[in-house]
Amino acid sequence: MRVTIKGVSDAGLNATIIVIGVGDSVNELVRGHGSIIRCSEEVLMPRMNKDEMQKLLQVRTDQLDMKMETDARWKIIGLAKGLPSFAHALGRSAVYSAIARRSLTVTETDVDRGIVDTVNSSKQTLKTTYEEATNSNQARARFKQLITACALTKPDASGWFTPKDVELPFSRIMGVQRRVDHFNSNLKEFASERRGGILQMKGNERASLSVHGFRNAAVCLDEGN
């Protein structure tokens, strides 16, 4: 990619190359190819809002002459967190479930079945990601319990939650009170390459540190840990 973009730029060719990917910044998208940033222009693509997500699902079901119940639609929107790829995957599996029932109406039960099918279709990837995030040679390590607690934490509408939000589910899992200072360093480690970046982190360490849990929920719940 870097060689192609630099070649086009150096030659002054009348061409446009669009680099598409998922990331919070251009630097993240072109990691390892930073030299192409000077001849690139960043176009911010924010997450889809709820109205856009509803339209996405509505258009697809209309094309199939099918309907989707309100509870089913909002469950997909809530789980997708503004990411169209998740909405497409869950919506597709839910529609398949309805078709298997010989019904033209997608229900919440179809979405629940769709969640299982979507997770199973990526089971090996999820397992690899989960193992990379939780493996440890230390007998006292509690990475599995902590990532499960993150999966059980209630995030905001965009999928973000604070370390403070993890205290209650983690304490319940461990059977003893656990404060942020007991596990905050582990949360930061989950956001590192060493742990596969299973969580995303934003903000500063003192006030607005947050972790994004949309990637970890399916991994933890699928493994049953």
- Please, which pLDDT band fits residue 134 given cuts at 50, 70 and 90? confident
Co-location of 19 and 106 in the same domain: no
In this prediction, residue 103 carries a pLDDT of 97
Judged against a pLDDT cut of 50, whether residue 30 lies above it is answered with yes
* pTM across the whole model: 0.59
In this prediction, residue 37 carries a pLDDT of 67
Give the tens place of pLDDT for each residue, 182-224.
Answer: 898 888 888 888 888 888 877 655 433 444 443 333 333 333 3
Between these two residues, 90 and 221, which has the higher pLDDT value? 90
| 45 assigned to some structural domain | no
Co-location of 29 and 61 in the same domain: no
CA distance 93 to 98: 9
Co-location of 87 and 14 in the same domain: no
Q: What is the 3-state secondary structure (H, E, C) of 132-201?
A: HHHCCCCCCCCHHHHHHHHHHCCCCCCCEECHHHHHHHHHHHHCCCCCHHHHHHHHHHHCCHHHCCCCEE
In whole numbers, what is the pLDDT of the chain averaged over residues? 80
Of 186, 181, 188, nearest to 167 by C-alpha is: 181
> In terms of residue numbers, what domain contains 79?
50-121
Give the tens place of pLDDT for each residue, 35-54.
Answer: 666 677 767 677 888 999 99
Specify the number of domains making up the chain.
3
CATH number where 217 lies: 1.10.10
User: Under a CB-based contact definition with an 8 Å cutoff, are residues 153 and 173 in contact?
Assistant: no
Give the tens place of pLDDT for each residue, 158-183.
Answer: 677 888 889 999 999 999 999 988 89
Q: What is the mean pLDDT of residues 11-34?
A: 69
CA distance 63 to 41: 35
CA distance 138 to 38: 45
Between these two residues, 86 and 62, which has the higher pLDDT value? 62
| 44 assigned to some structural domain | no
